[in-house]
Amino acid sequence: MATRQQTHVDSDRLIYTCPHCDSDVEVHEGQLGEIIDCPNPECGRPFEVPAPDARLASRQPGEAGTRNVLKAGNAADIEHDIVVRHPAMFRNHPFTFTLVLLLILAGAAGAAILAGEAPLLAIGSGIAAIFGIGVMAVWYIQVLYRSLIVTNKRTIYRQGILARRTNEVQHDDVRNIQVNQGIFDRLFGVGRIAISSSGQDDMEIDVKGIPHPDGIAETIRKYQ
């Protein structure tokens, strides 16, 4: 076990140094003898805070203000992502996805085959392929900028590229979780999940085409 710097500042305030990131962490007496997670967001690794077996050395005058002191908390006090999902492309719209993909392939093949025999048709096929690629690219970007994030504290839905909209519901406030899946949704493992909080009549988060919505609902219930 790595050695930890321990500094007694006053009668009920102990400061331990995280052995992983060297951050000063304030620890309450009730946490002595336990394993805590470092509250530094860039670290978050666990370490033990053993009870001191000797009188702790005090800092020299003026030294206490030279470093940032963080307050220790339980692992649950530090918010971290549990699940991050984006709406599916193929599984959410399999027929549209297949149609656009065929347009790209057929257009590219037609442009290559007709290039020497029918230049105008080759140009038309190339334009069709480019159009299909453009549709697929825009669709992908839209999906990429729509994300459902479940942390250990809340569920967040973000959407938008230039103008961004964010809805969130704290797990403690969740009143209703709805999961809807049609026949094809169940076949492809996607569905709609909607979440509302106490005191709200409308669903504050409503997302379609999310992979494995049942698993997301179970995760939210686990942290309620």
Question: What confidence tier does 47 reach under pLDDT thresholds 50, 70, 90?
Answer: confident
**116: its two tokens:** 């020497």
Point out the least confidently predicted range of 29-38, 110-119, 132-141.
Answer: 29-38
Question: What confidence tier does 7 reach under pLDDT thresholds 50, 70, 90?
Answer: very low
The residue-averaged pLDDT of 44-63 equals: 64
pLDDT of residue 100: 95
**How many angstroms separate the CA atoms of 42 and 80, rounded?**
11
**Sheet-wide strand order for 190-197:** 174-180, 190-197, 205-211
pLDDT of residue 108: 93
State pLDDT tens for residues 165-221. 999 999 999 999 999 999 999 999 999 999 998 877 788 999 999 999 999 999 999
Half-sphere exposure of 135 (CA within 13 A, CB side): 16
pLDDT at 64 over 60: no
pLDDT of residue 37: 81
pTM of the model: 0.62
Point out the least confidently predicted range of 8-12, 22-26, 34-38, 92-96.
Answer: 8-12
